A and B are shown apart, each in its own frame.
Chain A
């Protein structure tokens, strides 16, 4: 990343200013790039002229930087640089460190040994049936949850968009679960799915059940997806509602004049225009599904989720923080990270090419 070299230059300049105090002269003397052409030219003429003579460019390096990167580069740095460094350290620094740990054999309470790096942990993870199962579950959860939440949210949005009364009240109710913690909603759904809970009670009225929604490993993942859809379809509704309202009214009318049925109209005319809303909502939902850790942990109050519902996120935390297999957990985390990256990468590229960032 080119930014790093700019940052370095910036730091060098700060250091020089601090030590010397004779910023302009010293900078110019040490930085041959700046001394010769650009500094002289920008200092005297350009900068002052565009700024109405108020601000003054003081040093050669500064002139160079501002020439290359735009006049606000240094002045705006105090605003974006500290948060950028914090994010850089905690997000990117940590991911790189995590990758390094995953190559060690770090476990238990001794310090990691970075002298002996290999891919053992990845071999171990990729040949472990538990990790494979968790990976498959992660994918099923991610795709199932995303598709169902999108479809359901779109349906709700279409209904809410039909000029209804008390729209705000309905919207508030549908979005309410979204404000709750996974830890809280896990309690609700544990009770909903219980033998004495609402679902089995209602099934009992028809002489059906009881069903072990959580205990049966064939359906536990579907139960989890259902609960997550309950929590997040309000979100997809809000996103789609905004997108529907951005579509010009004529499109709805044109379709109606053509004699298209309501269903056909939505399918042919409206749904294709929701593409960008769908893309960004899917990415957000996929990321939320990776965070289903909180829900699964709270469901059982421990590291081991119900049989059949183990995902990479829970497996990783269990290996690292329960079993102290730090390197192994880190390797699983990198696998999870790569999965996320395969979604985020194309998304960011898509947004970038569409100038949506």
Chain B
């Protein structure tokens, strides 16, 4: 009881309170920023390692021109300015044009780095370049927010970064680990859609319907099947939207089924299959817009089958669990066709995703 009136004890209690009242935010800023700094250092390491690994791969496996390192350094710094969206009407064709031009430009410049290079290798180098550029962008953006918060001693500014950084790190680790599958030309988790549709295309004739996109016609229990996927084994997602617009101009299907990989929610099992409605397709959204537009104008329903997986599983070599689901997905597609269409009707089946290492 005597302790209550002891001036020393009172000081021990009051001092931290005063300290936290006046300096609480700064202490929190120091603790949070230390954690963030560690992550930023890790991001820098990822970027540097990815860059070195990429340049080593080019030098050891391909016929590079003399000053390729200087050219590559310029590439790593390239940026994309999205179109003005103050008036969103007609913005999708503008984004589409921008993305396509960027792709064509990068592909052309990738080819210019080598004395000789195949389409397959070009697509791999293009994807590897995207990985290094994305890691560079992650590092720059997080470092900018961190340094700004520190410079201005602005604790609220560090909070969004603290919330975002685990997601950024998860994606960065997945990108770093994706390098190996890309260099070896191995299928990635995202390639399950093209793998299922590619399997259905086997022994049928294929035709190119748009850039790096193939169509194959087949039959199933009296129904006509239009099978579409990116052209494998290139590391590409193709231009599915453009291809579908072309098909709709001559051939109106009665049902569209889209097969894609989807990010699983925490707690869900990797490689689990889910079915639903609507266009299953990630990316910037221009291809999905074209598919939805064609389906809406022609009143065609769209069904979706997705194979759930984490971002790490989606970007790295396909796991056994995901690969083993290919047959189950095919059976689901057949069930969907039988339940939702009649004999003599036409069904369009689209395998969405990066078809690296998966032919047809």
Partners in one complex: no
